[in-house]
Structure 1
C-alpha cells in the first residue's frame, strides 16, 4: 500500500531536465514554515555527511506545515524558486514507516523550490526557504503540503547540501554592437529585443553579467536558467523561467541537438563561462537544429539564447 505514495514522492521532486554589478534579491521569508509542536519533537540521528534518520511518536499529524532547524549551516541562504541539492528521508506520519524511494543511499536529489506548488514540492519549499546550505532541517507537512488532503502528514529529514544561485549575480558588462538587447526583471528573467537585421552566420557570444565562480568545463553538469528565441521571428520557443525553473545541462555535444543531447553551439558558448554569469549566444542553424528544426523552431533557424549559469553539480 505504500508504493503509490512512494512513487508520488519520487515523481514530484526530481529537477526537470537533469541529465547529467547585479545583486540577487534578499530572500523573502514570508512563506517560511515556523517551528511547532510536531517538528520540535522529531529527533534525528546520523552524521551530516549521510542522510539523517528520524524518530518521532506516531501517529503524527499537523494541520499546518512546521519546520525546525536542527543544525544551522553557514552557506548560501535558500530562496523560493531556487534549485537546491538535498539528502533527505521521508516518513509516513501515521506509521513512522520510511517511504522506500526517498532513501537515496547517500546520493542527492536536486529540487526546484516553489512555495505555491501543490503537494510535497510546496511543503518542502516552505520548510526550507530562509534556511542555509549546510543545514539539517526537519519538516512535518500538513496533508495538503504532502500527499493531499485526507492523507497522512509527512515527516522529512533534509540535509541541504547546496543552494544554487537563484539568478546570475555577476557584474554588468557593456553591450556588444550588433547583438540583441537584454533587460532583466527583478527576478532575473530576461527580456530580449532582436535587431531588425540579418543574423550573423557564425556563433556569436557576449557576456551580459560576468560572474566570479567556478569555470565551466566540457563534461560538467551545469544548473541554468535560459530563454531561447528564433532570430527571424522573435518568437520564444523555450524558457525555463516560464516553465519548470532551473534545469540541468550536460556540457557535451551529442551527434545532433535533436537526438536528445546538448545543442553544439550552446555547448561551445557555455565552456569557459563562470558561475554567476549571464551570457547571450546567437547560434547559427549548423550549430543548432539545422535543416530539420525542432518543436517551435523552423528549419534553418538562427537562435538567440540568454543563459544564467547558476551552479555546477
Structure 2
C-alpha cells in the first residue's frame, strides 16, 4: 500500500502545451485535478467529522512526522475529517496556494505508510479550490491547523487510510525576491501592483544566443534538473513585443511535470532560487526553431518573465 497524496499538481495550466516540448520532442499535458465540484466557497465543501477521524489519537508535535493510534479495522464509508488542533494563522480562502504535510496509516494494521511534506521541496503548494478532495479536507481552517482524516478504500487501489495533516503555510503568487540591477541590452520589465509584468523590447536586433537576467533573487531552494516548478510566466515575441501567452491572463500559476518546457525556458530555471524572477530571451534554436506554434511564427525569438514560486525535487515525486 502506498501513500496517497491529497491532490495531484492542481494548478490550472491552460496553455502549457504551448510551452512544453519543441520540434521532435513530446508535449506533456499539465497536471490538473480541477473538478466542477471544486468551486465556490471553501467552507461549504469541508467534510464533517466521523467516527474514525474522531477516534484518532496523535503523538508528536505539529510540523513533524507524528504517530496516530486508532481502533483497527473500522469501516470507512465516506471521507471524514476532524480538526485536532486549530491554528492561529490566517484562514484558508479562495485562491490560496497552501503547503501541507502528511503522515499516513493503514486502517487495517495501524502501520505507518509514509510521511510527505515535512522536508522542504517535497510537495508543491496547492490551490485549495482546484481540487475537490483538497478543499474538502483542508478548506476553511486557519494555517497551523492539525487535522485527522479518514479516507475510504479506492476501488481496485489502496485500502482505507488515516492521515495526519498539518496545514503549514500559504505561498505568494508572485516573485518576492530582492531586486537586482538590470542588464544592458535586455528588454525592460514593469510590474503591476499584483506582480503581473509587461515587457518592452529594445529597438535592436534580437540576440543570436540565449540571454538570462535575474530581476529578483529569491531566498528559497534552487531549481534542480528534472524538478517540477510552480511558476508564473509572461511571454512575448521579440519581433512585435506582443504577448502570445501568460499565466497571469490565464488566471493561475502553472506546473508542467519535470519542467518539460522548450530548452531555453528550462535553462532559465536551472539553479535559480525559489522566489526569483527571471527574464530570458530565447533564440529559435532554443525555442520552437523553424516550426510555427499557434500564433508564434516560425523562427521567432521568445522573451519570458518567469516568477519561480516553488519547486518539487525529483526524489520527492
Q: Secondary structure at the match of 1:307?
A: strand
Gaps of 5+ in 2: 12-29, 32-40, 152-161, 313-317
The alpha carbon displacement at 1:295 in A equals: 4.3
Inter-partner Cα distance in structure 2 for 1:307 and 1:13: 22
What whole-Å deviation, never above 9, does each CA across 1:32-69 have from its counterpart, x for those lacking one? Answer: 7999876994524476766876859989999xx98625
Inter-partner Cα distance in structure 1 for 2:219 and 2:6: 34
Residues 1:207 and 2:214 are matched in the alignment:
yes
Instruction: Check the 8 A contact 2:173/2:232 in 1, yes or no.
Output: no
Which residue, 123, 138, 156 being the options, matches 2:148? 138
Q: 2:230 matched to which residue of 1?
A: 224
What whole-Å deviation, never above 9, does each CA across 1:143-175 have from its counterpart, x for those lacking one? Answer: xxxxxxxxxxxx964245786554321122344
Q: 1:14 matched to which residue of 2?
A: 9
What whole-Å deviation, never above 9, does each CA across 1:236-266 have from its counterpart, x for those lacking one? Answer: 3242672553425636xxxxxxxxx332212
Q: 1:195 matched to which residue of 2?
A: 201
Inter-partner Cα distance in structure 2 for 1:312 and 1:282: 22
Residues 1:282 and 2:295 are matched in the alignment:
no
CA RMSD of aligned residues (A): 4.8
Which residue, 117, 122, 133 being the options, matches 1:120? 133
Instruction: Check the 8 A contact 2:263/2:287 in 1, yes or no.
Output: yes
Inter-partner Cα distance in structure 2 for 1:236 and 1:44: 53
Q: Secondary structure at the match of 1:279?
A: strand
Instruction: Check the 8 A contact 1:112/1:246 in 2, yes or no.
Output: no
Instruction: Check the 8 A contact 1:173/1:207 in 2, yes or no.
Output: yes
Q: 2:270 matched to which residue of 1?
A: 271
- Structure number with the bigger relative contact order (C-alpha 8 A, sep ≥ 6) is 2
Q: What is the number of residues matched between the two proteins?
A: 258
Q: 2:298 matched to which residue of 1?
A: 299
**Any residues of structure 2 matched to 1:83-162 within 5 Å, and which?**
84=99, 86-87=101-102, 105-106=114-115, 110=123, 113-114=126-127, 116-117=129-130, 119-127=132-140, 130-132=142-144, 136-138=146-148, 157-160=164-167
The alpha carbon displacement at 1:286 in A equals: 0.8
Gaps of 5+ in 1: 1-8, 19-29, 98-102, 142-154, 252-260
Distance 1:31 1:15, change over 3 A: closer
What whole-Å deviation, never above 9, does each CA across 1:123-142 have from its counterpart, x for those lacking one? Answer: 34524x6414xx6323699x
